[in-house]
Structure 1
Amino acid sequence: MTVLDDLRTEVAAHPSNAWATAAGWQPLVVGSPESRVLIISQAPGRKAQETGIPWNDASGVRLRSWLGMTDAEFYDPANLAIVPMDFYYPGKAASGDQPPRRGFAEEWHPRILPALTEVRLTILIGAHAQRLYLGPRRGRTLTDTVRAAPTYLPLFPIVHPSPLTQGWRMRNPWFEAETTPRLAALVRDALDRSPNDPPA
C-alpha cells in the first residue's frame, strides 16, 4: 500500500463520503510519488465516476490533445497525477455538473499533494482550482487568468475542455493557437527532464 492508497481508503471511509461509498463509487484521485505533471481540476464527470477512469469522456480526449499526451502516457501515474477539487461526481446541474463541494479540497489536498514529490508542472483546470491555488494573483476574469498562464509557472491555468466551453474557445482563438502548444511543450519538458535539470 502506498501513501495515496492509504489516503484513498481514508477518503472512502469518511462519513461525508458515505453516500458515494454506498453507491459503490471510489474516490477518483490518481498519482504516484514519481508523477511529473499534476492536474487539479473540478470533479469527475458521471462517466468517469461510473467507470472509475478519470477523464474518460470527450473532455478527456480534448484535454489529452492539448497536453500532447497519448492515452498510455496520460494514464501512467508515473507521468501524471489527477487530484480534482472533489473526488466524486457531484451530480447534474441545469447546465453541466454541480460544482465541487465546498471545503473538500481544503481538507484533502494538503494530505495528498505532499506525497507527489516529483511534480514539475501543475495544470489548474477551471475557475474552482484557479481560485484556490492562485488566490488574489488570478486575473479579474477566467479569460484574464488563462491569457496570463505562462506568468504563473510552475502553475498553468487553463479553461475546462468540456463541450460547454466551445463558445469560449471560439471567442478566444488564441487559446488553442498559442496557449495549448505552449502547454504541450511544458508537459513534454516535465516528462523528459531529469530531476536535476533546470526547466526549459
Structure 2
Amino acid sequence: MDELDVIRQEIIDHPSNAWASEQGWAPLFTGSARARVLVIGQAPGRVAQETGLAWSDVSGRLLRSWLGVTDATFYDPEQFALLPMDFYFPGKGPSGDLPPRPEVAPLWHPRIIGALSDVRLTVLVGAYSQRYYLHGQKRQSVTETVRAAETFLPFFPLVHPSPLARGWRSRNPWFEETTVPLLAQEVRQALDAG
C-alpha cells in the first residue's frame, strides 16, 4: 500500500466523511508519485461521483481539449494527478453545485501533494482552488487571474470549463486565442520533462 492509498483510507474513515461512505461513495482523487501534471478542481460533480471517474462529464471533455491531451493520457495516474478541493459531490445549489467544504483542503492536500513528488505543473481550475493556492497573488477576479496565467507558473489558473461559463468564454475571446494554447504548451513541457 503506497502513501496515497493510506491517505485515501484515512479520508474514507474520517468522521466528517461518514455521510459519503454511507452512500457508497469513494473519495475522488487519483495520481501517483510520478505524475507530472496536477489538476486541482472544486469538487466532483454528480456524474463523476456516481461513475467514480473524475471529470467524466461535459466539463471534463472541454478541460481535456484545453489541456491538449487524450482521455488515456488524462486518466493515466503516472502522468496526471486529479485532486479536488473536496473529495465528494457537495450537492446541488440554486445555480450549479454547492461549494466544496472549506475544511477539506487544509486537512488533506498537504499530505497528498507531498506524495506527488514529480509534479511540474499545477492547473488550478476555478475560483476555489485559485483562492486557496494563490493566496495574495490572485488578482481581483477570476478573469484577471486567468488573463495573467503565465505569471503564476508553475501554477496555471484556469476558468472552470462548465457549460455555465459558456457566456464568460464568449465575452473573453482572448482565453481560447492565447491562454488555451499556452496551457497546452505548458502541459506538453511538463509531461516531456525528464
What's the TM-score once normalised by structure 2's chain length? 0.99
1:2 Cα offset (Å):
1.2
CA distance in 2, matches of 1:140, 1:48: 30
Aligned residues: 194
Match of 2:5 in 1: 5
Match of 1:110 in 2: 110
**What are the within-5 Å matches in structure 2 for residues 1-200 of structure 1?**
1-194=1-194
Q: Deviations over 1:123-161 (max 9, x none)?
A: 001110000100111001111100000000000000000
Q: Deviations over 1:103-134 (max 9, x none)?
A: 11011101110000000000001110000100
Q: CA RMSD in A?
A: 0.5
Amino acid in structure 2 at the alignment position of 1:54: A
1:193 Cα offset (Å):
1.5
Percent identity of paired positions between Structure 1 and Structure 2 = 61
CA distance in 2, matches of 1:129, 1:159: 11
- 3-state DSSP class of the match of 1:83? strand
CA distance in 2, matches of 1:11, 1:190: 29
Match of 1:197 in 2: none
- 3-state DSSP class of the match of 2:93? coil
1:54 Cα offset (Å):
0.4
1:102 Cα offset (Å):
1.4
CA distance in 2, matches of 1:108, 1:26: 15
1:162 Cα offset (Å):
0.4
Structure 1: 5+ residue stretches without partners? 195-200
- 3-state DSSP class of the match of 1:38? strand
Q: Deviations over 1:12-64 (max 9, x none)?
A: 11000000000000000111000000011100000000110000000000000
- 3-state DSSP class of the match of 2:85? coil
- 3-state DSSP class of the match of 2:34? coil
Amino acid in structure 2 at the alignment position of 1:45: G
